[in-house]
Chains A and B, each alone.
Chain A
Amino acid sequence: MAQSNKEKSTKITALVVDDDMINRTIHHRLLDNLGIENEVVGNGKEAVDVHCSGKNFDLILMDKDMPIMNGIEATRKLREMGIRSLIAGVSSRSTEQEIQEFMEAGLDDYLEKPLTMSKLVTIIRKIDSNG
């Protein structure tokens, strides 16, 4: 799956937003393995700041529960800034109400942790089909 998309995938960029170092390490490696250039930050404010510095990404993997600025606030802020990247919310919380609130902040998709290769490929195919 990674191999057939490799040529297109090398043009895809991603931002991992998660306060947990284990998840940052795993998600970074998953994306690396798919040939996707990616950066990692530790909370929603850092995600906003990196965009304010002029960077842009095809995909943002946004954790929900983070200190300083959580995923819901960060998603809302990025959409207000005009960021049109594909934002996939990532969380271990699964009540419908919480997912709904997260989606309404501006997500394109929602994934439950732990992230796997197949979940990521599903998301990346959306970028490929839109791009």
Chain B
Amino acid sequence: MDVINQLQRQFIDYSTSLHREGFVDDQFTQLQKLQDESSPDFVVEVASLFFEDCEKLINNMARALEQQQGVDFKQVDASVHQLKGSSSSIGAMRVKNVCIAFRSFCEAQNREGCSRCLQQVTHEYSLVKNKLQTLFRLEQQILAAGGSIPVVE
């Protein structure tokens, strides 16, 4: 029981830190509330879709920005818009915020600004992916120990 309590405490603290540091917002909490016995892997499934989406879109942006003949800023913007939508849907706040700035640089057709944003969005994606995977591992440890995952408001 002590082990379960300790793991649950760890989970609550970690989850709270993700919110406090702005990695996730209330939308992520909403998704966690949708998870139940009938759909126990819902959040992991959505997160996996998000990770796949991010990788594909970041690659698209990188290829478009590498074009020597001239950057198609509309194409870059289309990918950024999609990433902004996905990150907003899952509650990945820091990724979403970089996308907002990124879109401004696309509109201004500022290649250097776009390249900087691409670096930032790649970095933020990497961070949130690690954070969420750690959170999911903590969940698995709690369940393996016979405990239940606490609800963090």
Residues of A in contact with B (beta carbons under 8 Å apart):
20-23, 25-26, 29-30, 32-33, 92, 113-114, 116-117
Contacts and interface: CB of A to CB of B under 8 A. Distances in A.
B49 A25 contact: yes
B42 A92 contact: no
A120 B39 CA distance: 20
Contacts of B34: 26, 29-30, 33, 117
B88 interface: yes
Chain B, interface residues (CB within 8 Å), range: 20 to 34
Which residue, of B33, B88, B89, has the highest number of chain A Cβ atoms within 10 A?
B89
B97 interface: no
B84 interface: yes
A20 B85 contact: yes
* A-B CB proximity, top 10 nearest: A114-B89, A22-B49, A29-B34, A92-B85, A22-B89, A114-B27, A22-B86, A114-B88, A21-B49, A116-B30
Interface string B59-103: 000000000000000000000011011101111000000000000
A22 B50 contact: yes
Interface of B: 27, 30-31, 33-34, 39, 42, 45-46, 49-50, 53, 81-82, 84-86, 88-91
A116 B33 CA distance: 11
16 contacts: A20-B82, A20-B86, A21-B49, A21-B53, A22-B46, A22-B53, A22-B86, A22-B89, A25-B45, A25-B49, A29-B39, A32-B39, A33-B34, A92-B81, A113-B88, A117-B33
B81 to A, nearest CB: 8
A75 B42 CA distance: 30
A113 B30 contact: no
A116 B88 CA distance: 12
Contacts of A22: 46, 49-50, 53, 86, 89-90
A113 B49 contact: no
Which residue, of A32, A114, A116, has the highest number of chain B Cβ atoms within 10 A?
A114
Contacts of B49: 21-22, 25
Contacts of B88: 92, 113-114
